[in-house]
A = this chain, B = another copy of it.
């Protein structure tokens, strides 16, 4: 069991939350997740995820010049994306509750 495996499906929601807070681009999202305490999330994970979420209509993107390198692709949430984020939060809270219930009940 790696940290990796526990991440599945959760990064999506966290990306939505970050984008909702403020228009953001992939490279920065990876850094931010690191700041929040996640194991370094690889770009090979983030970019395909962002592209999938765009395909699904949860986010839109615009390219903008950077002062320090190639163009950035800034993402924003659509109405569907905001909805998906709200649903993610509910599911996360339910999951948190369930796992903690198992750990608490079984660990004493």
Contact = CB atoms under 8 A, between A and B. Distances in A.
A9 B1 contact: yes
A79 to B, nearest CB: 16
Contacts of A88: 1
Nearest to A37: B98
A45 interface: no
Contact of A102 (B3, B9, B36): B36
A18 interface: yes
A6 B3 contact: no
A8 interface: yes
Contacts of A103: 14, 17, 89, 92
A14 B84 CA distance: 26
Nearest to A35: B101
Given A21-B106, A36-B102, A38-B98, 6 more contacts: A6-B92, A6-B95, A10-B99, A17-B102, A37-B101, A89-B103
